[in-house]
């Protein structure tokens, strides 16, 4: 893959390969024989995997991140760490460093990255976030290269559950649970702000669920949207001007990218920001609730290993969802909002399985 401006930490030294070479280099392997239920092209790839199994093997793992922000970067780091761990255990190498790219939320970049990874003959592509997964799936058409996605909120709505060459992990959000957290701290609240990007697939169902929840409780809601950090900042200010005291954002990549720019605006106005991932809280939001992104990344990496080392195909591996239930409180924001941490934790207790405390930082360490 050529070095491109949107690639943050990679330099490819290998020339593009012919289409026939891409096919020949499909799946290689390091483990047990392919499943007897596999058929067609996938079966051939799995058979090649079994025949080639040996210590010292190197697998080319493309990892494509949609955009830089704490949630997605955390997934990438977790995938890489898990692949390194399994590689040491099995005596093989998962080469992701030469095949990592960040599209910076640009569709043109995604298209180019997908084409380059196919030309490089990678053995698998890990696609982080829904737009990435859709683009990589299109890129590998007519090849044997499987796609393993991570942080796709609604795989069925994206059409991935009917595609034979893609599987992965979902960060679907239990919206009612996080809305209950808002009411637990604010039992008399009459209006809730909804902050999201209309173009983000990850937000569609969650926002619909939030509206239904509000309707069922007789609570008004005010919607504000943004597609860039500047627009999200203006939307946040508009919600403050409207007088809301609590704002809900689902697992929205655009708002996540902007969180470091808006959390102080909300906090200084006394507005509690409830969000669909722990990494929002890391970046200053009052509360994040939902999937553990370290666990999500590890599970994604394990699926990669099953494909490359165990002769599995994507069709053998249904996509995975994870139990919600972890509430992450930013203790600095909690204090700045004038809330007592112990009181908040006690209010949350009936609605979550665990409460985690964090302070504001740019990324997870």
Nearest C-alpha neighbor of 168 from the set 128, 115, 122, 117: 128
Cβ atoms of 211 and 204 closer than 8 Å: no
Task: Quick: pLDDT tens for 146-182.
Answer: 999 999 989 999 999 999 999 999 988 899 999 999 9
Dihedral sign (CA 59, 62, 68, 71): negative
Q: Do domains 19-170+293-316 and 175-290+325-358 have the same CATH topology?
A: yes
Q: Going by C-beta distance under 8 Å and a sequence separation of 6 or more, which residues neighbour residue 283?
A: 69, 70, 256, 259, 260, 263, 360, 361, 362
Rounded distance between C-alpha atoms, residue 128 and residue 175, angstroms: 22
Rounded distance between C-alpha atoms, residue 292 and residue 281, angstroms: 12
Q: What is the pLDDT of residue 260?
A: 95
Phi-psi region for residue 166, left (φ > 0), alpha (ψ -120 to 50) or beta? Answer: beta
Cα distances (angstroms) measured from residue 299 to each of 195, 278, 306: 29, 17, 11
Q: What is the pLDDT of residue 363?
A: 62
Going from N- to C-terminal start, the domains of the chain cover: 19-170+293-316, 175-290+325-358
Task: Quick: pLDDT tens for 65-110.
Answer: 999 988 899 999 999 999 999 999 999 999 999 999 999 999 999 9
Q: What is the pLDDT of residue 54?
A: 59
Question: With the CA atoms of 294, 296, 299 and 303 taken in that order, what torsion angle do they form, in degrees rounded to the nearest 10?
Answer: -130
Rounded distance between C-alpha atoms, residue 160 and residue 123, angstroms: 19
Rounded distance between C-alpha atoms, residue 62 and residue 307, angstroms: 14
Rounded distance between C-alpha atoms, residue 347 and residue 324, angstroms: 17
Q: What is the pLDDT of residue 232?
A: 98
Nearest C-alpha neighbor of 252 from the set 275, 270, 274: 275
- Name the pairing type of β-strands 287-290 and 326-330: antiparallel
Low-confidence ranges of the chain (pLDDT < 70): 1-54, 324, 363-365
The residue assigned the tokens 């893609």 is 166
Please give the structure tokens belonging to residue 166.
């893609």
CATH class of 19-170+293-316: alpha beta
Nearest C-alpha neighbor of 231 from the set 276, 185, 182, 195: 195
Q: What is the pLDDT of residue 13?
A: 29
Query: Residue 358 is inside which H or E element, if any?
Result: strand 354-358
Rounded distance between C-alpha atoms, residue 300 and residue 303, angstroms: 5
Could you say which of 3.30.210.10, 3.40.50.2300, 3.40.309.10, 1.10.3720.10 is the CATH number of the domain covering 175-290+325-358? 3.40.50.2300
Secondary-structure percent of the chain, ordered helix, strand, coil, rounded to 5: 45, 15, 35
């Amino acid at each position: 893959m050529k070095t491109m401006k949107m690639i943050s930490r990679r330099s490819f030294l290998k020339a593009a390969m012919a289409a026939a070479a891409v096919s020949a280099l499909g799946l290689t392997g390091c483990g047990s024989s392919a499943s007897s239920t596999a058929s067609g092209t996938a079966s051939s790839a799995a058979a090649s995997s079994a025949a080639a199994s040996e210590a010292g093997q190197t697998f080319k793992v493309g990892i494509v991140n949609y955009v830089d922000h704490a949630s997605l970067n955390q997934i990438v780091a977790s995938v890489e760490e898990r692949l390194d761990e399994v590689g040491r255990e099995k005596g093989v190498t998962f080469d992701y460093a030469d095949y990592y790219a960040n599209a910076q939320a640009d569709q043109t970049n995604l298209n180019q990255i997908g084409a380059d990874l196919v030309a490089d003959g990678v053995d698998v592509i890990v696609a982080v976030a829904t737009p990435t997964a859709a683009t990589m799936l299109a890129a590998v058409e007519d090849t044997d290269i499987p796609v393993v996605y991570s942080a796709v909120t609604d795989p069925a709505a994206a059409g991935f559950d009917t595609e034979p060459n893609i599987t992965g992990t979902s960060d679907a959000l239990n919206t009612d649970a996080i809305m209950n957290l808002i009411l637990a701290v604010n039992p008399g609240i009459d209006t809730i702000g909804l902050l999201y990007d209309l173009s983000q697939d990850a937000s569609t169902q969650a926002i619909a669920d939030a509206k239904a929840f509000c309707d069922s409780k007789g609570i008004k809601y005010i919607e504000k949207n943004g597609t860039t950090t500047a627009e999200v900042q203006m939307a946040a200010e508009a919600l403050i001007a409207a007088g809301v005291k609590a704002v809900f954002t689902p697992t929205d990549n655009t708002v996540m990218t902007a969180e470091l720019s808006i959390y102080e605006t909300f906090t200084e106005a006394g507005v509690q920001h409830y969000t669909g991932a722990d990494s929002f809280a890391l970046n200053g939001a009052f509360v994040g609730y939902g999937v553990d992104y370290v666990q999500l990344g590890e599970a994604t990496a394990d699926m990669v290993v099953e494909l490359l080392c165990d002769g599995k195909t994507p069709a053998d591996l249904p996509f995975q969802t994870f139990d919600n239930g972890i509430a992450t409180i930013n203790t600095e924001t909690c204090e700045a909002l004038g809330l007592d941490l112990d009181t908040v934790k006690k209010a949350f207790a009936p609605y979550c399985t665990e409460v985690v405390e964090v302070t504001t930082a740019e990324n997870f360490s």
